[in-house]
Structure 1
């Protein structure tokens, strides 16, 4: 049974990947969707690392948005997939690279306890603007408050330098500038371009399922768990 780990981004929950996970499981894969919101990038990375280490074979690890910062620090992946996500180099954070678009920043609401949340109407347009209305409403209803500081976290490991990777540029993204995505995509082994907004796991889950299944069929799991297969970088 092939193994897959799906890593959500800021404000999101594992449930946002529910349809993708269900379809991959139906096709025969073991799928784990860790809960982030552990309070910091190192804590989120540790949670995903524990999920990877618990699997019987090195998995394909997909990170969305901030989830890219998380999977960059994880060792033992068979293949990394960055979905409109941050591919960070030494000393970089998501914030340093530009982080959220002005439109996404405008949707952020400061909370009294120091956390932030997203204005529902603005979140629909920014994160799910290309999704059917009922799916966008469902996705916004799942969003949760976010602890501060995660976007400023700097990974201590850079696994894309050691494992093969695929970057998916979401060309209609309103949350992370597609030009920034293309720059980060140049660090990866392979690049795909989808005509979607920021959240294809909501509006176009079949695209993610097809990509993961393609990678499962065409990539070999590494024998060791240290850092995966050495890439050309």
Structure 2
């Protein structure tokens, strides 16, 4: 059975992918959505790597936003999908690539334990702009506090240099500047642009489902570390 691994971003939970996961499973696709919030990029990456390693065949792995930093660090994916996500090179973190937009930064509030959370009303506009109001409210209700420092983590491996990849630019995104997205997209083997906000898996899940089914149907899955030639830094040798 074809498998898809969905990797959420900061402040999010696996449940945010529920609409996409349900549709894919009904169509016969195995879907795994690991929980992040392990305290660091390296720990989050290890959690996703464990899921990939549990599968008999290389899966399609989609990372959203910060989830792009996570999937950049894994091995064994058949195809990578970066959805408004960070594509890091050697020495780069999500933060020093450009990080959150000013609108998203304005939505972040510090908590007494050192974590941060999002103002619900601002999060609705920045993360779920364009989504139907009931869905946006549902998604905001799922958001959780975020441990500090994950966005400053630097991947130890750069999977996009060896694995075929698709970047989805969300052209109406208020959380990650679309100009930055297009710059990072140039590192991928295929680029699409959608006229959506930051989280189409909430407001337009069929777009995400259709893309993933297209990739699976086209048999774009490849064996890990084959089929893509990139300029490789010493950290990848």
- Shorter-chain TM-score above 0.5: yes
Partner of 2:8: 8
Mapped pair 1:67 → 2:67:
yes
Q: Within 2, Cα distance between the matches of 1:151 and 1:213?
A: 30
Mapped pair 1:203 → 2:203:
yes
Mapped pair 1:121 → 2:121:
yes
Q: Within 1, Cα distance between the matches of 2:66 and 2:220?
A: 27
Mapped pair 1:229 → 2:226:
yes
In the alignment, is the contact (CA less than 8 A) between 1:103 and 1:175 conserved in 2?
yes
Coordinate RMSD, CA, aligned: 0.8
**CA shift for structure 1 position 230:** 3.0
In the alignment, is the contact (CA less than 8 A) between 1:176 and 1:198 conserved in 2?
yes
Q: Within 1, Cα distance between the matches of 2:184 and 2:221?
A: 24
Q: Within 1, Cα distance between the matches of 2:184 and 2:70?
A: 15
Mapped pair 1:98 → 2:136:
no
Unaligned runs of 5+ in 2: 231-237
Q: Within 1, Cα distance between the matches of 2:151 and 2:143?
A: 17
In the alignment, is the contact (CA less than 8 A) between 1:78 and 1:229 conserved in 2?
no
Q: Within 2, Cα distance between the matches of 1:136 and 1:119?
A: 13
| 4+ runs deviating over 3 angstroms | 220-223
**CA shift for structure 1 position 220:** 4.4
In the alignment, is the contact (CA less than 8 A) between 1:16 and 1:202 conserved in 2?
yes
Partner of 1:110: 110
**CA shift for structure 1 position 221:** 3.5
**CA shift for structure 1 position 217:** 1.0
In the alignment, is the contact (CA less than 8 A) between 1:68 and 1:87 conserved in 2?
yes
**CA shift for structure 1 position 228:** 3.3
**CA shift for structure 1 position 129:** 1.0
Structure 1-normalised TM-score? 0.97
Structure 2-normalised TM-score? 0.96
Q: Within 1, Cα distance between the matches of 2:225 and 2:84?
A: 22
